[in-house]
Structure 1
């Protein structure tokens, strides 16, 4: 009964109603700002960094603008010495809602909505709302003081539980922001037709490496770690590279060399040893080569620098395909060559320019060896299908014209031997 009487008493006071009116005005203004910004977003087009920035800000504009207006209303009420107990808890609630939407949006853009991100979203929301509840109940400050008291000294550095948690959170946030910006820059580079694919890959690698390095240094500086102590870490890293990480460093540097000298680009058809396929992706440590069976082979970048690589499409994607056929010595080779030339365009992949040609290669043991040469412009699909179509067409044309494809044969000449002695 006492609780209900307190509620009735609050409803009868004028201070409750003007606070409620202030909250309603803040909500209406926040909705109007969000609507105006949404119209500007729809009129800005669908491409470019400007559109991405506007779309990102639109997702968090409503809660953050609501928090800003509520904070301004609190200041006004406080200036006139009026109560503002209803507005006080709503400011951190609006900030928490905006922070949740911002973090979830950055995570989805940085990690492309992976299942791990989807499972982490409720955890992020739970942690933020828990902090808001602790702040409203007044338990947040004692909890932080207790975490800061759990510390020990390591030389001249003081390590506390609060500092460790801050370091982990700042590193996660900084790395997520760095990956999001790197992916955003990568998507914008792919839309630019004036930049070659190899330069796009090089810029993507360099920007990701630079942003992650900056994020790491900013995170360390944000939690108060002296950056001069990284000199010891750099020395240890140099020793590690000299012993166990030299191959990783070599592959990483080789990746930049491949991008800069443009010897291997995405889409190139290459042969490395027994591996044949087209370059699907250029990674920091390896190159993804996909063959016609759909199998991806990960070739370390160092192998492409130190070993022989056949690039079938380095300057020109046209590749010549040779088809060998033998005809009998009893047939007319010129007639056979004319028929082979007619069969050259049976495959749609054969180019008109350069024109197909036929040559008499040699007089072999079993027959006359003829060679048909055609050109294709898509070596990534292989040459076996082209050879198969043309071979079938040649077989049919030879059969209709009565031209014989000889079997392997050998001529044996038996000479007369010594006479055997007569039996007595």
Structure 2
């Protein structure tokens, strides 16, 4: 085949050259007895692999599957069980390799059978991505990275593509690298990112189980491990891409200048967050109130800010620095108890000497009311316009709002106790005095 392609762009001429080579190769295979024998070997190897896989896979599945049993080897056995779909393409690959040795010894040629082996590897990669990978991110990488690489390898173009990418060099400032370095960095960076996320999750799970540690220390360890994991991943990525870390000195200097000017607040908040974690002044789960009026439960502590959740479900993002430079009231620090009081009044007809004992015994029956540091204490507060004012003080572990209604519960106990004892809770009384005698009725 001879075509005049001089008028077309070089890329078109190159693609046409590959197409002509493929056509001539296919034509040679169709007319060659050695090629037909290799096709026969591929078909026989695949059919034999199908027969063996159908018998082998159920036996291996029953042998490996732990069922409902739980033990130290149960998780590894379930992990191995997921790879059983690869038996068919790998068996076909192995049997084809055996047939390749025979064919090469007879015809001294094995191009067709080598192409078939690469197709079996492509089939294995497809099964691996479709049936074995469960993580959405890894499945995405497999679909858009592993399968295209396997396809290029199967048609024999992988080395050509790698060579073209290696010869294409780009640069940014004093940093120069090839396109293959970018591709390698994207692949390695994606895998390192996923591995870093997975490692961080496993580490967080282990640290969270250490209940003997203070919550703030656990949070500090989690942040330290997270920073260390991704710092190591960054260094590995730079080495994989072939970038000398010394070339990043200019970038590091620019970052330093940025910290000195525009990023000083971020740096201040980061350091404040570390101080908070070390000192343990506040941690996740504490109910705090800031000097500016912000109040809520700490639900998350990040490198820059602390997130508070209010009782109405809203989130407030408070910079870490505010916890250092302003006054903060922590109602939950170190599990300390909180004191509340419930005011009430009784009628002037009441024997007030009985009231403290009645109320203290009633409030003490509440399951959340503590006897330490002090038991319930009923105090006389004053003589009001309509009744005698009392208040009972009580201690609880927790905040009186949101899921807890301590004061409401105590007021119910007070009402029921006073009612059972026949003590009246007064309502306002008003005396109206009319001066000047009665008002004459209007004539009909």
TM-score (norm 1): 0.73
Matched, 1:206 2:224: yes
- Which sits farther off after the overlay, 216-225 or 313-322? 313-322
TM-score (norm 2): 0.71
The CA RMSD measured in Å over matched residues stands at: 4.5
What residue is the counterpart of 2:311 in the other structure?
292
User: Gapped runs of 5+ residues in structure 2?
Assistant: 1-26, 432-444
Matched, 1:401 2:426: no
* 1:288-326: CA deviation from partner (whole Å, max 9, x where unpaired): 333333333332222222222222222334222112234
What residue is the counterpart of 2:71 in the other structure?
45
- Report how far residue 93 of structure 1 moved: 2.0
Q: Give the secondary structure class of the aligned counterpart of 1:334.
A: coil
Find the aligned partners of 1:137 and 1:13 in 2 and give their Cα distance.
16
What residue is the counterpart of 2:353 in the other structure?
334
- Report how far residue 71 of structure 1 moved: 6.0
Matched, 1:357 2:377: yes
* 1:232-275: CA deviation from partner (whole Å, max 9, x where unpaired): 22222111122222222232333332222222233223222433
What residue is the counterpart of 1:74 in the other structure?
97
Find the aligned partners of 2:79 and 2:52 in 1 and give their Cα distance.
22
Find the aligned partners of 2:307 and 2:43 in 1 and give their Cα distance.
66
Find the aligned partners of 1:74 and 1:323 in 2 and give their Cα distance.
86
Q: Give the secondary structure class of the aligned counterpart of 2:340.
A: strand
What residue is the counterpart of 1:307 in the other structure?
326
User: Gapped runs of 5+ residues in structure 1?
Assistant: 411-424
- Report how far residue 178 of structure 1 moved: 0.8
- Report how far residue 221 of structure 1 moved: 0.8
What residue is the counterpart of 1:160 in the other structure?
178
Matched, 1:88 2:121: no
- Report how far residue 328 of structure 1 moved: 5.5
Taking a change above 3 Å as real, the CA distance of residues 348 and 304 of structure 1, as seen in their structure-2 partners, is same
Find the aligned partners of 2:320 and 2:209 in 1 and give their Cα distance.
26
What residue is the counterpart of 2:407 in the other structure?
387
Larger radius of gyration: 2
Find the aligned partners of 2:415 and 2:328 in 1 and give their Cα distance.
36
Q: Give the secondary structure class of the aligned counterpart of 1:217.
A: helix
Taking a change above 3 Å as real, the CA distance of residues 380 and 358 of structure 1, as seen in their structure-2 partners, is closer
Taking a change above 3 Å as real, the CA distance of residues 192 and 102 of structure 1, as seen in their structure-2 partners, is farther
Taking a change above 3 Å as real, the CA distance of residues 212 and 54 of structure 1, as seen in their structure-2 partners, is farther
What residue is the counterpart of 1:223 in the other structure?
241
Find the aligned partners of 2:63 and 2:167 in 1 and give their Cα distance.
46
